[in-house]
A and B are shown apart, each in its own frame.
Chain A
Amino acid sequence: MKKIVPIFIACSFLLVGCWDEQLYKEVSIVPLVGIERESEKFTGHYSFSVISNESISFSTVEGNGLSVRDTRLNANSKASETLDLSQLQVMLLTEETAKLNINQTFDAIFRTPRTRLSSRVAIVEGDITPYIEKTENMDIELPDFYKDILKTDIEFSVLPDIDIQNVAGIINDDAIDLALPFIKMDEKTGIPKISGLALFSDKAYTGRTLDKEESIIVQVLQKKPGKYSMFTYIWKKEGEPYPLTVELARYKKKWDIQDGKINATYKMKFNIEEFPYDHLDNEKNRKEIEGFLSKELTKDFNKVTKKLQEAKSDAVGFGRSVRAFHPRLWNKGNWHDTFSELEINVKVEAEISRTGILN
């Protein structure tokens, strides 16, 4: 026994390198991936790190293949080092790709243990190439750019806090639908910008999108807002317009689900962020503002739910409550069809709780 131990130790040196070792200097970081799909043909755009003069920059390599993994193999042979998705920050999908079953696109990502599950996913409008090639008028690297703009909009409740890991959960859940960030190219500046949410129904993109204001309402409806959620309206008094910006402080939601009907009530408390008319210490003024807010918000919230119903996309997740407590309604048929035919009434009751340091 005592003789075996040193032999074993000596032999173990020979094993170096044939285990799952992957030296960091031999891999190339891929923080940004773009996937295009045309029925059976996948094209992957991989943005990988290039080091020159002690600084890092990213260039893009394109790979074709029959699957997402296949495109990576194809791209691998064109890049200088192994492409490693463990530092993936953002994954971009074209509208065409998303319109097909996106489980097929994500399978390779979920299956590999090294994939970073906290990376973000977004849908881009049109052709993917301009989104993944750095243009001259961009002063920061694209992966950082996408990561930062997504992070900001998540903070301001425009986008849901969804990463690759959440996508897996939501995709395979019948009772809730995915809503991913939708990125458009700004025609004036040539820089990509977030335009709102792309709505999914079941496992595919519906082709319908929401704008930023509507996206905030989706976040608030599911009671998963980011750090800040703000609404702005113009309040008219004696013919003169006054801008009114409020920030959502606290709120309660109550869903009353009956057969074929959902009454959703939201009791919200707001902080006033901007209101040049002032005089909020006046009880009458405040009541008037609260009434105005309630009316406007109720109108907008109902408009958003209508849009969701038209898209057959339950991004709010009413289905989860229905499935849990109302099996009769749930078992009526496919939830997406049931949802689109439901009568959903949203009612918002606004209350002003803080007015800032002015009254």
Chain B
Amino acid sequence: MDEVKSNASLILYIKKLFHDSTDLSVREVTWKDGVGIVCFFNTMTESGEVNKQIDIIRKRAMDGLTDWGGTAASSVEAFSVQKLVDSVSNGFVAVYFPASNLIMTITIPSYEVRSTSEPTNEFVIRGSHEGFVESTDKNISLLRKHLAIPDLVIKDLRLGKETNTKVTYVYIESIADKEVVEDVKNRLENIDTPKIYSIGQIEDYLEDSVWSPFPQFLNTERPDRVVANLLEGRIAIFTDQSPAVLVAPVTFFTFFESPDDFNGRVYVGSFFRVLRLFCFMLAIFLPAFYIAVVGFHSEILPFELSKKVKIAVQDIPYRPIVEALIVEIFIEIIREATIRLPAPVGPTIGIVGGLVIGDAIVTAGLVSNLMVIVVAMTAIASYVVPNLEMNTTIRIIRYPLMLAATLFGFFGIAIATLILFIHMLNQSSLKQPYLSPVIPFDPTRFKNIFFRIPFYKNHKQQQTFTHGGNKRKGGGKT
């Protein structure tokens, strides 16, 4: 009688620990010697499965097995309140045996995970169409499918007192640089914040310089991209509930590589890689160049073109910079709006915004048609870079260049470019130089920026960016 009463109060106590959440199930089950108290969140666990597992384990206990609790899905430990709270919060089933003061945890996960689909911001034409989902376990399994080797190391960490988020870092032991791995581990462990709920937060904590416009982590949702990077000695960081993966250390040129290059033929891959670098230049310099020409250096226009330009700019009431800002801001607004627009109206609004307003704005004489051409070309060029982070960066850094061009013409562009490159040279990603194959100069890897070398050629294994000299025979001609 006394025992029954104490069991009832124990259940109340456990319920109170979780503030009487309605999805918490706390039940009494009879056990060999006394009772067991089963508690779990019925939203994260399949209740029928719980019964089955408990039946199996109870039968093992009845049969008198000594380690009756140790099955593939369960384990038994000494009881503590903290242990109970942790396992229940993480979606385990906890069974507490008051008589022997033991706690058994059973893993029966049941929560919704979206099926894998191609990431919408990283389409490729040739190559795998898999994408990561919002579950680390599933993501790691996708990774393991690509890399069936024991060298693939997966390490877990729990971050954030209030959110208790699982953060996982992955590397290949034989390739990754030990120092860099150690560095990532230390940086992750030093994150001291109560709340972590997205990969972006982790990125802020890990970055060498947060205030730089250039991303120091490759953000991707593609398993094939992560695998390729892991094989180059990089480290991938996952957080649970986020399909995006951070890859580091990266160089500036990593952002211009796409899985398409490697799946395509050698010339094709090389051509598009050079095209992307060219587009980077175009996207940054074209509006600034135009502003400088119209504002300062009209003498460089060929005579035939100069007449057309003259007609175009003659009746524009604003300075070139104002004109440029009107169109640039307008394009950014269209871009931002089309992300949020519901799918059925998206293209329609895009056409209205782009074509109708674009045409009307020229007819109304607010901006010249040349400026619309320049800005439209720039916008298209900035999307050629196969990484969202980098193309946002490109779109932002062209504003200072435009400003420099409007102040000092070509001289201003030269100064701004100088500052830009000084900044890029000072950048690092996990303490590895950002412009790596160019500075510090490494001729063998330098070629790889512009050419996709055939796979059977010996590749220089990249471990770190500075140490160098680590040559490893490539896959060999098969």
- In the complex, A25 has a CB within 8 A of chain B: yes
Bound state CA distance, A23 and B323, in angstroms?
Answer: 13
Q: Least Cβ distance of A94 to chain B in Å?
A: 24
A116/B299 contact (C-beta < 8 A), A21-B409, A23-B294 known: yes
A25/B313 contact (C-beta < 8 A), A87-B299, A114-B299 known: yes
**Which 6 pairs show the lowest CB-CB distances between chains A and B?**
A86-B299, A24-B298, A25-B313, A24-B294, A56-B307, A51-B314
A55/B311 contact (C-beta < 8 A), A23-B295, A84-B298 known: yes
> Contact: A56 with B406, CB < 8 Å?
no
- In the complex, A29 has a CB within 8 A of chain B: yes
Candidates B293, B303, B319; contact of A87 at CB < 8 Å: B303
- In the complex, B310 has a CB within 8 A of chain A: yes
Enumerate chain B interface residues (CB-CB to A < 8 A): 293-296, 298-299, 301, 303, 306-307, 309-311, 313-316, 319-320, 406-409
Bound state CA distance, A29 and B299, in angstroms?
Answer: 10
Candidates B303, B307, B315, B407; contact of A12 at CB < 8 Å: B407
> Contact: B298 with A21, CB < 8 Å?
no
> Contact: A23 with B303, CB < 8 Å?
no
A29/B407 contact (C-beta < 8 A), A21-B296, A51-B314, A87-B301 known: no
> Contact: B295 with A21, CB < 8 Å?
yes
Enumerate chain A interface residues (CB-CB to B < 8 A): 12-13, 15-16, 19-25, 27, 29, 31, 49, 51, 54-56, 84, 86-87, 89, 114, 116, 143, 147
> Contact: A29 with B307, CB < 8 Å?
yes
| Chain A residue with the shortest CB-CB distance to B296 | A21
Which among B306, B316, B409 has the highest number of chain A CB atoms within 10 Å? Answer: B306
Bound state CA distance, A22 and B408, in angstroms?
Answer: 11
Bound state CA distance, A89 and B303, in angstroms?
Answer: 8
> Contact: A25 with B299, CB < 8 Å?
no
> Contact: A29 with B320, CB < 8 Å?
no
B residues in contact with A16, CB < 8 Å: 319, 406-407
25 residue pairs of the A-B complex, CB under 8 angstroms, read A13-B407, A16-B319, A16-B407, A19-B407, A20-B296, A21-B295, A21-B409, A23-B295, A23-B320, A24-B294, A24-B310, A25-B294, A25-B313, A25-B316, A29-B307, A29-B310, A51-B311, A56-B307, A56-B311, A86-B299, A87-B301, A87-B303, A87-B306, A143-B303, A147-B303
Bound state CA distance, A13 and B408, in angstroms?
Answer: 11
Bound state CA distance, A113 and B408, in angstroms?
Answer: 17
A22/B296 contact (C-beta < 8 A), A15-B407, A31-B303 known: yes
Candidates A24, A31, A89, A143; contact of B295 at CB < 8 Å: A24
| Chain A residue with the shortest CB-CB distance to B304 | A144
Which among A22, A84, A114 has the highest number of chain B CB atoms within 10 Å? Answer: A22
Candidates B298, B307, B407; contact of A27 at CB < 8 Å: B298
A residues in contact with B320, CB < 8 Å: 23
Could you list 15 further interchain pairs (A-B, Cβ under 8 angstroms) beyond the known A16-B406, A25-B294, A49-B307?
A: A13-B407, A16-B407, A21-B295, A22-B296, A23-B294, A24-B298, A24-B309, A25-B313, A25-B316, A51-B314, A55-B311, A87-B298, A87-B303, A116-B299, A143-B303
| Chain B residue with the shortest CB-CB distance to A141 | B307
B residues in contact with A31, CB < 8 Å: 303
